[in-house]
Amino acid sequence: MTDPGALLLEILSWFLLAGGGTVCLIGAIGMHRMPDLYTRMHAVSVIDGLGAAMLLVGMALQAGFSLIALKLVVVLALLLFTSPIAAHALARGALHRGVRPKQLTEDRATRTVLARLVDRPPAPHADGLHPEEAPDSSAGEAAIDPAPGRPAR
């Protein structure tokens, strides 16, 4: 390891691998310490973004210019494309099914936003999957998306 370039690569990949593992662990600890779903998603996005990217780049530095590095880049690209889609769908679905954020300061602005996004009261059940039927609040409904009726059969 007398070549300074190789030494630099070694140090850099050490830093990336150890740092990536630590970031993954921090994100997983955040999954347990955060109070509700949305803040947990915030903690998990650290794993999907920074932790995986650091680990994969660190491994690619160790692999050098080879097919292995190309495959690592492919994995990273797939990960960076799909994890925001999944996170978006999850947060949107949870919000529409009535899972409210905890510790929400209920001022006028958040009430307006929630009336646009969630036109129903918060779910009485814990899992929010079968919320009570509620009349739509008239505020944001017409402005956003007038729901198409089901086709008559």
Partner 1 sequence: MTMFSLAAILVLAALVLAVLRAARGPTIYDRILAGNTVGTLAVLLLLLGGFVTERPEFIDLAITYQFLNIVGTVAILKYFRYGSLGHGLDEQAPALHGKPPADRRDEGPA
User: Could you say whether residue 1 binds partner 1 (CB under 8 A)?
Assistant: no
Rounded (5°) CA angle 144-148-152: 170
What letter represents residue 36's amino acid?
A: D
**Choice from 9, 12, 50, 75 touching partner 1 (CB under 8 A):** 75
Structural contact between residues 139 and 108, judged by C-beta atoms closer than 8 angstroms: no
Token pair for residue 5? 């370039």
Which of 82, 102, 110, 112 is in the footprint of partner 1 by CB under 8 A? Answer: 82
152: number of CA atoms within 13 Å, CB side?
A: 0
Q: How far is the CB of 57 from partner 1 (least distance, A)?
A: 12
Asked if residue 81 lies in contact with residue 48, where contact means CB atoms within 8 angstroms, the answer is no
Instruction: Select from 1-9, 84-92, 102-110 the region that touches partner 1 (CB under 8 A).
Output: 84-92
Decide: 136 and 119 in contact? Cβ < 8 Å: yes
Q: Which is nearer to partner 1, 2 or 15 (CB)?
A: 15
Q: Applying CB under 8 A, does 147 fall inside the site for partner 1?
A: yes
CA distance 22 to 18: 6
Binding site for partner 1 (CB under 8 A): 13-14, 17-18, 20-22, 24-25, 27-29, 31-32, 37, 40-41, 44, 47-48, 51-52, 55-56, 58-59, 62, 68, 71-72, 74-75, 78-79, 82-83, 85-86, 89-90, 92-94, 96, 99, 117-120, 126-129, 131, 133, 136, 141, 144-145, 147-152
